[in-house]
Amino acid sequence: MKTSHTFSILFWINSSRAKNGNAELFVRVTVNGKRTNIGLKRKVPIAHWDSKSKKVSGLGEVPKQINHHIEQVRARIYYVYQELRYRDELITAQLIKAKYNGEDNNSKTLQEILKYHARKIENTLASGTIRNFGITEKYVNRFLTKKLRTSDIYLKQLNYKFIADFETFLIGFYPTGHPKAMSHNTVMKHLQRLRKIITLAYHLEWIEKDPFIRWKPNFEKKQREFLSDNELSNLENYFFPLERLERVRDLFVFSCYTGISYADMVKLTSDNIILGIDESRWIVTTRQKTKTPVKVPLLDKAESILEKYAEHPVTMVSGTLLPVLTNEKINLYLKEIAHAVGIKKNLTFHMARHTFATTVTLSNGVPIETVSKLLGHTKIATTQIYARVLDNKISKDMKILRAKLGSGPKQKN
């Protein structure tokens, strides 16, 4: 049902603020008795303004151009009004002004949603996640500047081609300080983050169609590295003459026997230690990444590391259970440690969590559901990434099977 409105358009000049005989030109839009003014960014000679016809009098090119502009503005405002009326939408003078000035949702830009998203997540996501979104935004801006020769585009201009071109740009981009271009999976992660930002714009109704509707991420499956029993044992028993390397080794081993990530480990205090249901000590914390509660019974090797550093000068000052360093320094020192111990793998602190999942728990028969709980995963599918069947596990399982079947391994002649 169409609603009737009183609607009028009036052009006027602000002669009270005239300079050098020229005054600003305005248009007043009135709907149902409520009005708003729109500055037209044109100067009109007061002496030539006809207050009855609301036009500039006289001959010449200047009056002709101003009068033509007035008619264009009138037609545009009337079109906005008729469009709102046709759609049976709420009509106000302010809304007509916003649409005339291009301030409605149809004129929202990519930079606007990037800024809105950044404000939205600044107090809700982990610092590492916020940093990753910031990196993605930088690549989006590089793409706009280098390939599209612009600093911004309207959201309504986003389409599948934009996504495909951005992907191609990332594939061929060499980050500063890196010896090679981005990996395929890194490109997919940047596109996933951009998708989350654009999906937010879609839910805010800043964009009518989701340009990612037909886009599907395709990650390459990669084996997650971990330390074997032998490598972990060599690392635990190696003597380091330097205290800093010994400390980093102990932090790494602690994570190997608890599955606690670096971000969560640095915050552990005595308040995180409780007496569990089995009368042994447990660590109770909340994962920074997912806000998931985690309860981990302390294994003997993890307990001994806590005892070792109970009265360490750093822990005494910080009040933490362990004398932590920055993540950057830890991963730097782990390279030294790997070289000293003879570990050929790319040793990073996160590999300790992989080692806990694979070597310490799953390969020793701990059910995957339990491992998922210990790791604080919200989906068991995440834990299944670690559930690779190891050769020694296959050997053990087959020995049990042979015993049950009453047959031993065939002997060679």
CA distance 318 to 304: 20
State yes or no: pLDDT of 147 exceeds 70.
Answer: yes
Q: How many CA atoms lie within 13 A of 60 on its CB side?
A: 7
State yes or no: pLDDT of 390 exceeds 70.
Answer: no
CATH at 241? 1.10.443.10
CA distance 374 to 352: 14
The answer to the question of residue 218 being in a domain is: no
Q: For the chain, give the percent of residues with pLDDT over 90.
A: 52
Do residues 271 and 386 both lie within one domain? yes
The answer to the question of residue 76 being in a domain is: yes
State yes or no: pLDDT of 7 exceeds 90.
Answer: yes
Quote the pLDDT of residue 1. Answer: 42
Do residues 180 and 316 both lie within one domain? no
The model's pTM: 0.61
The answer to the question of residue 297 being in a domain is: yes
Tally of structural domains, the chain: 3
Q: Alpha helices, DSSP H only, in 17-176? A: 61-86, 93-100, 110-121, 127-146, 160-171
Q: Give me the domain span that covers residue 51.
A: 7-103
Do residues 71 and 129 both lie within one domain? no
In three-state secondary structure terms, 41 is strand
The domain boundary residue, chosen from 103, 125, 149: 103
The counts of H helices and E strands in the chain are 16, 8
pLDDT digits (tens, 9 = 90+) for 122-134: 988 878 889 999 9
Task: Tell me the average pLDDT of the chain.
Answer: 88
Binning pLDDT at 50, 70 and 90, where does residue 49 land? very high
In three-state secondary structure terms, 246 is helix
Residue with tokens 């596990």: 393
pLDDT digits (tens, 9 = 90+) for 314-357: 998 999 999 988 888 998 999 999 999 999 998 999 899 999 99
Do residues 43 and 182 both lie within one domain? no
Do residues 185 and 134 both lie within one domain? yes
Give the amino acid at 64.
K
Do residues 48 and 186 both lie within one domain? no
Give the mean pLDDT of 59-87. 89
The answer to the question of residue 404 being in a domain is: no
Give the mean pLDDT of 60-70. 90
pLDDT digits (tens, 9 = 90+) for 270-320: 999 999 888 899 999 998 877 889 999 999 999 999 999 999 999 989 999
The answer to the question of residue 1 being in a domain is: no
CATH at 147? 1.10.150
Do residues 310 and 193 both lie within one domain? no
The domain boundary residue, chosen from 103, 129, 149: 103
The answer to the question of residue 219 being in a domain is: no
Helix or strand holding residue 303 (H, E): helix 300-308
Quote the pLDDT of residue 409. Answer: 54
The answer to the question of residue 210 being in a domain is: no
State yes or no: pLDDT of 266 exceeds 60.
Answer: yes
pLDDT digits (tens, 9 = 90+) for 183-229: 899 999 999 999 999 999 999 888 888 999 999 988 877 767 899 99
Do residues 177 and 253 both lie within one domain? no
Do residues 189 and 335 both lie within one domain? no
Q: Which residues pair with 284 in a beta bridge?
A: 295
Do residues 355 and 251 both lie within one domain? yes
The answer to the question of residue 407 being in a domain is: no
From residue 369, alpha-carbon distances to 134, 375, 393 in Å are: 35, 10, 18
Do residues 111 and 99 both lie within one domain? no
From residue 288, alpha-carbon distances to 140, 357, 376 in Å are: 27, 19, 10
Do residues 191 and 165 both lie within one domain? yes
The domain boundary residue, chosen from 103, 118, 133: 103
Quote the pLDDT of residue 407. Answer: 55
